[in-house]
Structure 1
């Protein structure tokens, strides 16, 4: 563990940027249609419970990263295999967010620019951030993450006259099944993806504040996402939202005589940048611990280069990107987000409650003394 620490407010803002990152342009619960707000509430509650699991694992294994916990609880061989799988998961997640960013910029702002060029330039900036360390990421989050709610507020105020509250009706027209399905998708994206923070939590300077910081940041992110969807729904209507590609971007176009598209771009730069940086850091740090290398920076350049290449290769087009995010990613993520963390939680709780073995030598010595 490199000797760097972040404060509670820095962790709060990093997690807020991570959770709200791709949500700037994507609405994970959109499968529920106009009832997505209800699915997002359910996902937010479940997300807080999931964060409780992650933070409890971290507190029961103080100063240990996810890789160290896996190898400690499951043995060196199995723990190393699962660590490598998690490294792949973090790399894959970073590649998907890269592609989200590239597709959005190339579709809305720079249509003549190749998506690989956009992602490559963004990667150069993020490589500097990752190599600067988690402490620098925390300081940058203090400077920039608050832009996210500020931009949301600016756009919402500008659209205050554009509203149709009947867009929420009828509620649960298709029953609860689509809502539950959409809530599951929203739980895996973005809340479950925060399993990457098990590589970051040991850097918090006061671990006694971990649960309070993480749960409050999760609740803030969930409330912000629900507010954005509700704003978009009453501004656009349910029919237009169902056909839109990048919903918040389309909403911003409704503002007369004022181009706020650059503000949406900035939100994605900040949120997506934080999310990718955390994933790259987690992957590079995991590789350094698996291989026994002291400095994770020796892997960061290779990891981020591979992420850009993978992001170009992973999808054929925008439609395939959305289909993967909604239909495949949630189930692909189940072992990484739920199964393995719950297993680690049970093993950590058992290790905590396991009674200590009596000292055999001392017992024998006391017995001999007594006999004498």
Structure 2
């Protein structure tokens, strides 16, 4: 398959907006109440370890995507079903994020609009962009993401200036207990958002300098972890620990409360903009991962030919996967977290890394023994 390339800065921005774009508007770690920010810090530490696994696995097989790595390590018989599983996983994740985006649009600015119309329009724009190549996707991030970060910082500046912040909501520290903080940080705040970065094992081969993958991954986790933790601190300081965990989109509620001199208010529209941009790059990364994986698995010349069929599947799946928002959230937080995200984002990558380690240790020994046998045979012939 023809390989496209993406720049270092572009990869960093795509990964960063993927990590924080949709996550930042939700109530992360609500179970830990006022200690949610501590759970976020611990989750970031776990995130570092998890991304180290991803980057090590990718670094051991430079230029190969996760699908190619699995086939190399496990062979075709065991690797093929696992590759299919990951492709389906990327598709289902794209569908879930698309549904999240549609539900937010319907509940805020597009009242009464059919869910299918919103999802199909959203996915169509993403497919159009990806058909231009990963370079176009990266250049879009280079143009859009800095603006979104400026908007995010400006939003919080307005919120702080409005005087709705009360840091007493953050006390008592560790009031819920260290055990609750640890249970919240792993696996929930490790999987969301750091475990999701596994999809970038499909994109890292497109980086112009593959040696910088580990550095980019670590900086993204650090930057995203700091931004998410500060965001949680701000949200709890405004809403309080009880209300923070009950609201589906706390950043939106917080933005609606902000008002400066009865003039600068109703800034909740910028939260919608952040969600749109974050959802765009998140769904785009998942669809790209599924498309490249399909192309590698079936030896296609280009992934472009499967983008439209994948877009159709994502649109349909996003519409039918749940009857309403409550069911949608319940599936994501209960079933998928334990039975899908945990094995595919953490368990299997760690097992692949262990198998790869022993495979690389055993293979040279076998080769060395075979060479010695051949040398011994040659010597016996020479003696005769």
In the alignment, structure 2 segments of 5+ residues that lack a partner are none
- Structure 1 position 124, deviation (Å): 1.1
Structure 1, residues 63-95: CA drift from partner, whole Å, max 9, x if none?
111111111111102111000000111011111
The aligned counterpart of 2:320 is 313
The aligned counterpart of 1:70 is 70
TM score, norm. by length of structure 2: 0.92
Q: Distance in 1 between matches of 2:250 and 2:222?
A: 22
The aligned counterpart of 2:157 is 157
8 Å CA contact 1:253–1:261 kept in 2: the answer is yes
Of residues 188, 199, 204, the one that matches 2:202 is 199
Tell me which moved more, 143-152 or 59-68. Answer: 143-152
The aligned counterpart of 1:180 is 182
Q: Distance in 2 between matches of 1:24 and 1:313?
A: 26
The aligned counterpart of 1:132 is 132
- 1:367 matches 2:379: yes
- 1:209 matches 2:216: no
- 1:239 matches 2:246: no
Of residues 253, 256, 264, the one that matches 2:256 is 253
The aligned counterpart of 1:296 is 303
8 Å CA contact 1:151–1:264 kept in 2: the answer is no
- 1:224 matches 2:227: yes
In the alignment, structure 1 segments of 5+ residues that lack a partner are none
Q: How many residues align?
A: 372
The aligned counterpart of 2:172 is 170
- Structure 1 position 370, deviation (Å): 6.1
Q: Distance in 1 between matches of 2:217 and 2:2?
A: 22
The aligned counterpart of 1:58 is 58
8 Å CA contact 1:86–1:336 kept in 2: the answer is yes
The aligned counterpart of 1:112 is 112
8 Å CA contact 1:232–1:247 kept in 2: the answer is yes
8 Å CA contact 1:60–1:349 kept in 2: the answer is no
- Structure 1 position 363, deviation (Å): 2.0
TM score, norm. by length of structure 1: 0.94
Q: Distance in 2 between matches of 1:30 and 1:328?
A: 18
Kindly report the root-mean-square deviation, in angstroms, between the aligned alpha carbons of the 2 structures: 1.9
8 Å CA contact 1:280–1:304 kept in 2: the answer is yes
- Structure 1 position 30, deviation (Å): 1.7
8 Å CA contact 1:61–1:348 kept in 2: the answer is no
- Structure 1 position 264, deviation (Å): 1.2
The aligned counterpart of 1:271 is 278
User: Does the C-alpha gap of structure 1 residues 29 and 242 become closer, same or farther in structure 2, counting only changes over 3 Å?
Assistant: closer
Structure 1, residues 135-157: CA drift from partner, whole Å, max 9, x if none?
22111111112233222211111
Tell me which moved more, 262-271 or 213-222. Answer: 262-271
